[in-house]
Amino acid sequence: MSQQSEPPPSALTSLGAPTEYSPQERKLLLQMAHESILSFLEGREISVPAPSPHLAELRGVFTTLYSDRKLRGCVGFPAPISPVYRAVIETARAAACEDPRFQPISLPEARTVQISISVLSPVQAVSPNEIIIGRHGLVLSKGAQRGLLLPQVPAEHGWDRITFLQQTCLKAGLSPDAWLSGARIEAFTAEVFADPSP
């Protein structure tokens, strides 16, 4: 699983991407994420309703957790290897307990944690001048090294296109100018939705 930080929930929008998930689907996915964390911490099985065909489509997903508006974990599947609903369940649980940057979330904290979900579009090869800040996330790879940054990251940090490319190179463990010397550049959009701010 890949990890990636995001801005606070108040800054999260669809970032120019078309809205694909209805308010009811968004609410259901957020409920699944919360239930996944609580069921794991309480040592019980999660009860999952039969998903619609739409929520059973294979998509990349990142789930991010916040406590008191501070990042508490983020884990994702960049590639579409799992149905959306299942990816949300698995990444929510992993973000709560397996992100090595943070202590695992406790049960009391889990009852108040805020969740945001990013559902990724398929990736497509792009040229650097096609990248739109605030709309595109990037995947940059060279050999076995690969880095991913979500669309909201450059918008939150005020990066321009070149800085975004450089930071994605660094995320892949490459030199900042690797995007100029044979690295593969791919872009995606993300539909981002979150719990209401308290």
Q: Are 21 and 96 in contact (CB under 8 A)?
A: no
Q: Are 138 and 31 in contact (CB under 8 A)?
A: no
Measuring CA to CA, which residue among 2, 5, 16 is closest to residue 116? 5
User: Residue 181: its pLDDT value, please?
Assistant: 94
At which residue do the structure tokens 């190179």 appear? 169
CATH superfamily name and code, 124-190: Hypothetical protein ph0010; domain 2 (3.30.1490.150)
Residues 88 and 90: their CA atoms lie apart, in Å, by: 6
68 Cβ partners below 8 Å, 6+ apart?
A: none
Q: For the chain, which residues make up each domain, given as ranges? A: 9-120, 124-190
Q: Give, for all 198 residues of the chain, the pLDDT tens digit.
A: 444 434 333 333 334 445 789 999 999 999 999 999 999 999 999 988 778 999 999 999 999 999 988 999 999 998 899 999 999 999 999 999 999 999 999 999 999 999 999 999 988 999 999 999 999 999 999 999 999 998 988 988 999 999 999 999 999 999 999 999 999 999 999 999 999 875
pTM of structure: 0.79
Q: Are 117 and 63 in contact (CB under 8 A)?
A: yes
Question: For residue 69, what are its two tokens?
Answer: 């508006």
Question: For residue 100, what are its two tokens?
Answer: 């090595």
Q: Are 189 and 134 in contact (CB under 8 A)?
A: no
So what CATH class is 9-120? alpha beta
Residues 111 and 30: their CA atoms lie apart, in Å, by: 13
Q: Are 114 and 9 in contact (CB under 8 A)?
A: yes
Question: For residue 127, which amino acid is it?
Answer: S
At which residue do the structure tokens 């800054």 appear? 11
